[in-house]
Structure 1
Amino acid sequence: MDFKNTGNRIQELRKMKFHNRSHFAQALQTSDENIKRIESGRGLPSIDLLIKMSLTLEVSTDYLLFGTVTNSDDEVTSTLIRLQHQLSPAGKKALHNIAKEIYLLEKG
């Protein structure tokens, strides 16, 4: 298991669902510094936090830790992340704005 890759997956998913790291930390009832440490690959979340992340980000713990896809939702998420990496900075910003609008519409 590669801590850096795990951190990158968590960070990419977090950016798709939350405006910033502190909102994510609040949702998980942990510190912003703990999330920063995990996303930078300097450590892994505790088992409890890993499960909370998995539920909050709506992916499996296997996907967070290893990048393996276990169901169709995880496959869609991993495909979106892979495609996002191929976008220009302007494309990434546009995609983020679209995702944000969809989130706001679904939130009500």
Structure 2
Amino acid sequence: MDFNETGKRIQDLRKLRFHNRASFAKALQTSDENIKRIESGKGLPSIDLLIKISTLLEASTDYILFGNLMDATDETSTSLIRLQQQLSPAGKKALHNIAHEIYNLEKG
């Protein structure tokens, strides 16, 4: 596991949802300095903080730590994440179903 890459993934996802690191830290009930340390690759979050980060950023812990699944930093993925965040719960479910159908079609 690359601490720098983990920190960059957290930072990239955080920038999609929060205006700044201070508001993110406040929502996580931790210090801005702790988030800065994590995002700069100088350490990893505790298990409890990782779960909070995962929940708040709506990203799996697997993606946050290892980068598995989709690359949430490319332009198309970023755009989809922003759109998804603005949908109602029913809209999110519909988007998921559509994406699943497209996946099944491409998989053959």
TM-score normalised by length of structure 2 = 0.69
1:20 Cα deviation after fit: 0.3
Gaps of 5+ in 2: 88-108
In the aligned structure 1, how far is the partner of 2:28 from the partner of 2:2? 22
**Identity across aligned pairs (percent)?**
63
Confirm or deny that 1:19 pairs with 2:19: yes
Greater gyration radius: 2
Measured in 2, the distance between the counterparts of 1:10 and 1:20 equals 13
Which one-letter code corresponds to 1:81 in the other structure?
Answer: T
Runs (5+) with no aligned partner, structure 1: 70-74, 85-94
1:56 and 1:83 map into 2 onto residues whose CA distance is: 21
Runs of 4+ in 1 over 6 A off after TM superposition: none
SS at match of 1:64: helix
CA drift of 1:19 comes to 0.4
Match of 1:82 in 2: 74
Q: Which letter maps to 2:61?
A: T
What RMSD, in angstroms, separates the aligned Cα atoms of the two structures? 2.2
Q: How does 1:1-108 map to 2 (within 5 A)?
A: 1-69=1-69, 75=70, 78=71, 80-83=72-75, 99=82
Equivalences, count: 84
Aligned with 1:81: secondary structure? coil
